[in-house]
Amino acid sequence: MLAQFLQFAMSGLTVGAVYGIVALGFTLIYNASGVMNFAQGEFVMIGGMVTVSAVGAGVPLPLAALIAVIVAASVGVLLQRLAIEPVRDAPPVVLIIITVGAALVIRGVAQIVFGKQLHKLSDFSGDTPLAFLGASILPQALWVLAGTVLIVALVWLFLNLTMLGKALIATSANRLAAKLVGINISFILALAFALSAVIGSAAGILVTPITFTYAEVGTLLALKGFAALVLGGLGSPLGAVIGGLLLGLSEAFAAGYLSSTYKDAVALLLMIAVLLLRPGGILGHAGAERV
Amino acid sequence: MTLHKSLAIAAGLLLGATSLFGGAQAQDIKVGAVLSVTGPGAFLGDPADKTLRMYVDEINAKGGVKGRKLQLVIYDDGGDAGKARTFATRLVEEDKIVAMVGGSSTGTTMAMVPIFEEAQIPFISLGGAVVIIEPVKKFVFKTPHTDRMACEKIFTDLKQRNLTRIALISGTDGFGKSMRDQCAAVNAKYGVEILAEETYGPRDTDMTPQLTNLKAKAGVQAVINPGFGQGPAIVTRNFRQLGFAVPLYQSHGVASKQYIDLAGDAANGVRLPAAALLVADKLAASDPQKAVASAYATKFQTITKEPVSTFGGHAFDGLMILVGAMERGGFDPKAIRDEIEKTKGLIGTAGVFNMSASDHMGLDLSAFKMLEIRNGDWALAE
Amino acid sequence: MMARFRQNCWFEPALIALIIIIIGLVLPSTYYFRIATLVLIAGLSATGLNLLLGYAGQISLGHAGFVGIGAYAVAVLPAKFAVPSLLAVFCGTLVSGIVALIIGRPILRLKDHFLAVATLAFGILIAMVLNNEQWLTGGPDGMAVPRVELFGIRIRSAQSWYWICGGVLVLAVVLARNLLDSSTGRALRALHDSEVAARSAGIDVARIKSIVFVISAVFASLSGSLYALFNGHVTPDIASFLNSIEIVTMVVLGGMGSLSGGLVGAVILVVLPQALSFFHEYEHLLLGLLMILILVFMRAGIVPTLAARWARGRT
C-alpha cells in the first residue's frame, strides 16, 4: 500500500515540478508586464530541442544545455522587443492572442529546423531505477526535483538580493513609480522575458529524458502551466510552483486510485473547486478591487 | 498607413488567395493527398508526405505513367477531421484529382469517405482501423493492416507461449481506442482473458500510476499496449522502471526505429506485430518481399536521413497500387477504381496485396511478422 | 451621436446580409461554397463570443465546449434516439443554454485570468467526455451525422447550406444588434468600462453577465449544430482547446466590440489557412506572423481600426 502511494506521489511530484517551473516562467513575465505569455511552452520546447541537436552534433551535454538556454533567452528577448513592446498597453486579451501567434511562429520554425519527429535525450545519470520503500524511482526524476528546487531558490535570491531583481519587483508593483526612480522599464521587461525563457528552457532540458521532445511539445505544457499558475495564485512565484505540484499530484493520484481515463477531469474539477472557494487562487488574496 | 493602402493590401490578400486556389497545369495527371503532416499525427503524415514526394519524382524522372507526368497535390490537415474534409472537397472540386492516396488516421479518413464516394474518385487510405473497409465502400481502399489483425497476431503468439491472462494499457487516441476495442472483441476466440485495463492520454508523460495498478493485479501474464506516438515508448520505459517482469507487447503503431531509439534499453524483449519492411535486411533471400522492402528502406533513409517506418511504407504501397491500376486502366477515376480492385499479387512493403470486390485491403495475417526487439534492433520472433 | 447610432442600428445587419447575398451569387464551385459556409458558421460563434468578450468584457477560453454540445446533439440524438435533426438542434441549444446558466453564475464571479482558466477547464471537460464516451459519441474517430430533411427534401449541397447558414447568421446579428441597443446593451457597456461603477449605478451585474454568457453559449451551440449537419461527420476536435482559442482569435483580430469585426476575423481564420496551404511547411509560421502583424499595427482589431481611420479621414 505504502509502496503504491509512494509510486503515485513520486510520479505526481515529477510531472508537477515541470508544470510548476512552466508556471514560474509565466509568473515572471506576468508580474513584470501583465502579459500572459502563451508561448511559454515553446521555451520548454526550445530547451529540449536545441540541447538534443547540439548533443547529436557531438557537443558535451553541459555546453549543449548552455547553448539551449542562450537560444531560448534570445528568443524571449526578440519576442518582447518585436511583438510585445510595440503594443505594451493593449488590452490583456490582445496580448494573449499575440503570444498565441508567437507560439505558432516558434513552433513553425522549430518544425522546419528540427523536423517533426520525436527526439530523445539520454538520462543524465543512467536509467537504473532506485528502490525507495518499495517504490521505484528513476534518477532523472531526482534531477528534475533537484533542478526545480535550485531554480526556485535562484529566482528567489535574484529577486530579493540583487538590484536588478529588486528593480523587477518594483516594476511589477508600480510601473510609473519605478520609472520615476530611474529604472529603465524597457530593459527590465526584456529581462523578465529573458529570465522566463531561461527558466522554461531549463525545465525543457531537465525533463526531455523522461518525456521526449518534439516541435509541438509546448502546447500542452503551456496549458498545464497556465492552470497551475492560476491555481496557485496569480503573481506569486511560490504559489506557481505549489500549484504545479498540486496539479501533478492530483493527476497521478486520480490515475492511481480513481480512473486513468478521467484523471485529467479530476484535476480540472479540483481546480474549478479551488477557484470557486478561493477566487484568488491558493496563495492569492481576494482583496478589494481598485476602482 | 492610410485607408487606401490598407484596403489595397486587404484586396491584394484576397486576390492572392483566390489565384492560389486555381492555377492548374494541363496535361499532368493529378494525384491528391490529405495527410496529417503536423499535429499529434505528424509521425504518421510526415514520412508519408516525404515518401509520396520522392516516389512521384522518381516516377516522373522515368517518364511518368503511360507517358503522362504525375502531379502531386498534398494538403496538411494537422490531424483535424474537419480540415481534412475541406481539403478533400478542394482536391475533388478545384484540383480535379483522379485519385487520392492519404488520410493518415481513421478519424480523418472517415470524415473524407463520403466526399470520394459521392464524387466517385478512388481513395486509398493510410488509416488503420477496420471500419474503413468494413462494410466495403465502393471507392475506398486501404493499405495498412487492420488493428483486428494486429490483435489476432498477438493473441496467436500468446497462445503459443501459453500465456492467456493479460492486461491492456491503451492510449485514448483514435488508434489506441480502436485497437483496444478490436482486442476486446476477439480475445475470447483465442481463449485469452483480459484481467485489467488502464488508459493514458496521448500526450501524457508518465504512466507509472497505471502500470503500478496493473502490476498489483494478481495473475497477469502479459501486457498489451495499443497506442502510437510517444506514449508506447514512455509505457515501455515505465514498465521496466517498475520492474514489471511479464512479457510486453506493443502494436504495429510503433513500427518505426524511432520507438527503439526513444525507449532505449527498455525496449529489449518487447514483441510486436509489424510489416516485413522493418526487417527487410533480415528476410531470407527467397522472401518475395525482400527486394521491394529493402529498396524502399534504403531510398527513404538515404534521402530523408531518418529511420524508415511502416507509416511511410503504407504510402509507398498505396502509390504503387494506384500506379499499377493507372498503367492497366488509364486515367479515368472509375476505371482506376475497377483496376485497383483487381490488384493481385502486388508486392508492397506491408505484404502481398490481393484485392477483391469484398476485400479492399487485400492483406492476410501472413503479411504480419511477429518481431522481437533484441539488442536495440528488430529480430524475427518466429 | 446617440440618435445617429439608433438610426443606423439596421445598417450593419443589412450590409452583412447584402454581402452574403452578393457572395452567394458569384461563388463558382462547391469548394468555394464550402469555405464560405464554414466562414458563416465560424462567424456565428464569433458573434456570440464577441457579445461576451467584446461588449461585456468577460473572457472565455472554453466556448468550443458549447460548439461541441451543439454538434454532438445533432449527431447523437437522431442516430441513437431517433430524434428528428431539427428538434435535436433545439435540444442542443437548450442544453447549452441551461449548462451556461448553471455554470455561469459561479464562474462569472471570477475575474480575468481566473475566469479564463475556469472556462478553459470547462471546455476541456466537454472535449474529454466526447473523446472518452465511445459508446455514445464514437470516441476520438468521431461519428457520422445523419443528413437533415426539410419538408421531405434531404439537404446536402454546400449551396443550400450556404443560404441556410447565411440566414441564421443574419438573424443572429439582428438579435445581437437589438440586444446591444436595448437597456441590457447599455448596462453591458457600463459593465465593460467598470464593473464596480456599474454595480454602484444599480445594475445587476451578475444577471447581465449571466444573460450574455447564455446567449453566447446558445450562438456557439447553434454554430456547432450547423457545422455538424453541414459536414456530415463530427470528431471531438470540434470542442478542443485549440478551437476555443480560434474563436477568441477571430474576435480579437477582427475587432472586439464590433459585430462585423468578429465576422472579418472568421473570414481570416477560415480562408487564410486555405490560401497558405500553398506554402506547405511555412503555413503555421506565416499564420502566426500575420496574427502578430495585424495586432501590432491594428491593436483594436481590423474593423474598429479601419473604421477609426476612415472617420478621421473624413473630418
> pLDDT at residue C5 above 70?
no
Residues 351-370 of B with CB under 8 A from C: none
pLDDT computed for residue B14 by the predictor: 46
Q: Is residue B52 part of a domain?
A: yes
Identify the band that residue A261 occupies on the pLDDT scale cut at 50, 70 and 90: confident
Contact C88, C205 (CB under 8 A): no
| Mean pLDDT value across residues B42-61 | 94
Residue in B252, B223, B253 with CA at minimum distance from that of residue B238: B223
Residue in A83, A79, A32 with CA at minimum distance from that of residue A185: A32
B378 three-state secondary structure: strand
Q: Which of C284, C290, C294, C305 is the mutation pick for testing A, counting most A CBs within 10 A?
A: C284
Q: Is residue C262 part of a domain?
A: no
How far, in Å, CA of C161 to CA of C37, rounded? 7
- Report the C-alpha dihedral over residues A127, A132, A136, A138, rounded to 10 degrees: -30
| Mean pLDDT value across residues B182-197 | 94
Which range has the worst mean pLDDT, A259-263, B320-324, C68-72, C260-264? A259-263
Strands (E), chain B: 29-35, 70-76, 99-101, 123-125, 140-142, 165-171, 193-200, 222-225, 248-250, 271-274, 346-347, 352-353, 369-374, 377-380
Which range has the worst mean pLDDT, A25-34, A282-291, C18-27, C142-151? A282-291
Cα-Cα end-to-end distance for chain A: 53
Q: Is residue C300 part of a domain?
A: no
The kind and range of the H/E element at C153 are: strand C153-155
Q: pLDDT above 90 covers what percent of chain C? A: 63
Question: Bridge-partner residues for B168, per DSSP?
Answer: B197, B224
| DSSP secondary structure of C211-277 | HHHHHHHHHHHHHHHHHHHHHSEE-GGGGSHHHHHHHHHHHHHH-TT-HHHHHHHHHHHHHHHHHHG
Q: Do C313 and B76 touch (CB under 8 A)?
A: no
The DSSP symbol for A286 reads -
Question: Could you read off the pLDDT of B134-176 as tens digits, one per residue?
Answer: 899 999 999 999 999 999 999 999 999 999 999 999 999 888 9
Is the same domain home to B153 and B182? Answer: yes
Question: Could you read off the pLDDT of A87-102 as tens digits, one per residue?
Answer: 888 888 899 899 999 9
Domain count, chain C: 1
Provide the CB-side half-sphere exposure for A51 (13 A, CA): 30
The kind and range of the H/E element at C149 are: strand C148-150
Residues 254-313 of B with CB under 8 A from C: none
| Mean pLDDT value across residues B261-286 | 91
A182 to each of A97, A170, A178, A187, how far by Cα in Å? 31, 11, 7, 12
**Domain range for residue C36?**
2-241
> pLDDT at residue C289 above 70?
yes
B262: contact with A, CB 8 A cutoff: yes
The dihedrals phi and psi of B171, each to the nearest 5 degrees, come to -75, 150
The partner residue sitting opposite B210, judged by closest CB among A14, A255, A264, is A255
Identify the band that residue C94 occupies on the pLDDT scale cut at 50, 70 and 90: very high
> pLDDT at residue C190 above 60?
yes
Residues 78-97 of C with CB under 8 A from A: none
Identify the band that residue B282 occupies on the pLDDT scale cut at 50, 70 and 90: confident
Q: Is residue C284 part of a domain?
A: no
Identify the band that residue B25 occupies on the pLDDT scale cut at 50, 70 and 90: very low
Determine how many CB atoms are found less than 10 A away from the CB of residue C141: 27
Is the same domain home to B138 and B151? Answer: no
> pLDDT at residue B5 above 60?
no
pLDDT computed for residue B312 by the predictor: 94
| DSSP secondary structure of B273-342 | EE-GGGGGGGS-TT-TTHHHHHHHHHHHHHHH-S--BHHHHHHHHHHHHHHHHHHHH-S-HHHHHHHHHT
Which chain C residues have a beta carbon less than 8 Å from that of B86?
34-35, 38, 274
Determine how many CB atoms are found less than 10 A away from the CB of residue B172: 23
Q: Is residue B290 part of a domain?
A: no
pLDDT computed for residue C293 by the predictor: 94
What is this model's ipTM? 0.89
Domain count, chain B: 2
Identify the band that residue A285 occupies on the pLDDT scale cut at 50, 70 and 90: low
pLDDT computed for residue B129 by the predictor: 87
State CA A206 to chain mean position distance. 12
Q: Do A129 and B241 touch (CB under 8 A)?
A: yes
Considering just the CA atoms, what is the radius of gyration of chain B in Å?
22
Q: Beta B99-101 vs B369-374: how paired, if at all?
A: unpaired
Q: Which CATH number covers residue B166?
A: 3.40.50.2300
How far, in Å, CA of A179 to CA of A185, rounded? 6
B16: contact with C, CB 8 A cutoff: yes
pLDDT computed for residue C8 by the predictor: 62
Is the same domain home to B38 and B82? Answer: yes
Q: Is residue B279 part of a domain?
A: no
Contact B341, B355 (CB under 8 A): yes
How far, in Å, CA of B43 to CA of B309, rounded? 9
Is the same domain home to B137 and B153? Answer: no
> pLDDT at residue B16 above 90?
no
Q: Is residue B18 part of a domain?
A: no
Q: Do C284 and A230 touch (CB under 8 A)?
A: no
Residue in C77, C51, C44, C49 with CA at minimum distance from that of residue C62: C49
Cell numbers at residue A116, please? 517533426
Contact C198, C205 (CB under 8 A): yes
Q: Is residue B280 part of a domain?
A: no
> Positive or negative, the Cα torsion across C125, C130, C133, C139?
negative
C131: contact with B, CB 8 A cutoff: yes
pLDDT computed for residue B15 by the predictor: 42
**Domain range for residue B158?**
147-274
Helix axes B310-329, B42-61, angle to 10 degrees: 40
B352 three-state secondary structure: strand
Phi-psi domain of B362 (left: phi exceeds 0; alpha: psi -120 through 50; beta: other): left
Identify the band that residue C151 occupies on the pLDDT scale cut at 50, 70 and 90: low
| Mean pLDDT value across residues C19-28 | 94
Strands (E), A100-231: 130-132, 135-137
Maximum pairwise Cα distance, chain C: 63
B119: contact with C, CB 8 A cutoff: no
Q: Do B38 and A256 touch (CB under 8 A)?
A: no
How far, in Å, CA of B143 to CA of B360, rounded? 9
Q: Is residue B102 part of a domain?
A: yes
C140: contact with B, CB 8 A cutoff: yes
The dihedrals phi and psi of B145, each to the nearest 5 degrees, come to -60, 155
Q: Is residue C156 part of a domain?
A: yes
pLDDT computed for residue C242 by the predictor: 86
Task: Give ∠ CA C249-C253-C254 in degrees, rounded to 5.
Answer: 115
Q: Is residue B15 part of a domain?
A: no
Final residue in a domain of this structure, among B259, B274, B289? B274
pLDDT computed for residue C156 by the predictor: 73
Contact B210, B200 (CB under 8 A): yes
Q: Do C295 and A272 touch (CB under 8 A)?
A: no
The dihedrals phi and psi of C230, each to the nearest 5 degrees, come to -65, -45
Contacts of B278-286 spanning 24+ positions with Cβ under 8 A: B278/B308, B278/B310, B278/B371, B278/B378, B279/B369, B279/B371, B279/B378, B279/B379, B279/B380, B282/B378, B282/B379, B282/B380
Contact B24, B30 (CB under 8 A): yes
Residue in B242, B246, B234 with CA at minimum distance from that of residue A135: B242
Identify the band that residue A44 occupies on the pLDDT scale cut at 50, 70 and 90: very high
Residues whose CB falls within 8 Å of the CB of residue C174, separated by 6 or more in sequence, listed in order: C13
| DSSP secondary structure of B297-311 | HHHHHHHH-S--BHH
Q: Is residue C38 part of a domain?
A: yes
Which range has the worst mean pLDDT, C161-165, C213-217, C237-241? C237-241
Is the same domain home to B65 and B114? Answer: yes
Chain C closest CA to B39's CA: distance in Å? 11
How far, in Å, CA of A141 to CA of A137, rounded? 7
| Mean pLDDT value across residues A43-54 | 96
pLDDT computed for residue C2 by the predictor: 45
pLDDT computed for residue C152 by the predictor: 65
Which range has the worst mean pLDDT, B119-123, B281-285, C306-310? B281-285
Q: Is residue C314 part of a domain?
A: no
Cell numbers at residue A35, please? 502579459
Which range has the worst mean pLDDT, A39-43, A225-229, A250-254, B40-44? B40-44
Identify the band that residue A147 occupies on the pLDDT scale cut at 50, 70 and 90: very high
Question: What does the mean pLDDT of chain A come to?
Answer: 89
Question: What does the mean pLDDT of chain C come to?
Answer: 90
| A to B CB pairs, distance under 8 Å | 92
Chain C closest CA to A226's CA: distance in Å? 8
Is the same domain home to B136 and B50? Answer: yes
pLDDT computed for residue A287 by the predictor: 42
A172 to each of A92, A175, B250, how far by Cα in Å? 15, 6, 51
Residues 196-235 of C with CB under 8 A from A: 196-197
Contact C142, B110 (CB under 8 A): yes
| DSSP secondary structure of A10-54 | HHHHHHHHHHHHHHHHHHHHHHHH----TTHHHHHHHHHHHHHHH
How far, in Å, CA of B253 to CA of B180, rounded? 12
Q: Is residue C302 part of a domain?
A: no
> pLDDT at residue B318 above 70?
yes
Residues whose CB falls within 8 Å of the CB of residue A288, separated by 6 or more in sequence, listed in order: none
The kind and range of the H/E element at C285 are: helix C283-297
Is the same domain home to B78 and B194? Answer: no
Q: pLDDT above 70 covers what percent of chain B? A: 93
Is the same domain home to B181 and B269? Answer: yes
Q: Do A105 and C114 touch (CB under 8 A)?
A: no
A272: contact with C, CB 8 A cutoff: yes
pLDDT computed for residue B23 by the predictor: 43
The dihedrals phi and psi of B164, each to the nearest 5 degrees, come to -125, -10
> pLDDT at residue B19 above 50?
no
> pLDDT at residue C34 above 80?
yes
Maximum pairwise Cα distance, chain B: 79
How far, in Å, CA of C46 to CA of C49, rounded? 5
User: Secondary structure of C59-116 in the HEC alphabet?
Assistant: CCCCHHHHHHHHHHHHHHHHHHHCCCHHHHHHHHHHHHHHHHHHHHHHHCCCCHHHHH
Considering just the CA atoms, what is the radius of gyration of chain A in Å?
19
Q: Which of A161-165, A184-188, C212-216 has the highest mean pLDDT?
A: C212-216
Contact A219, A41 (CB under 8 A): yes
B80: contact with A, CB 8 A cutoff: no
How far, in Å, CA of C104 to CA of C119, rounded? 9
Question: What does the mean pLDDT of chain B come to?
Answer: 89
Question: Could you read off the pLDDT of B337-382 as tens digits, one per residue?
Answer: 999 999 999 999 999 999 999 999 999 888 888 999 999 999 998 7
| Mean pLDDT value across residues A266-290 | 71
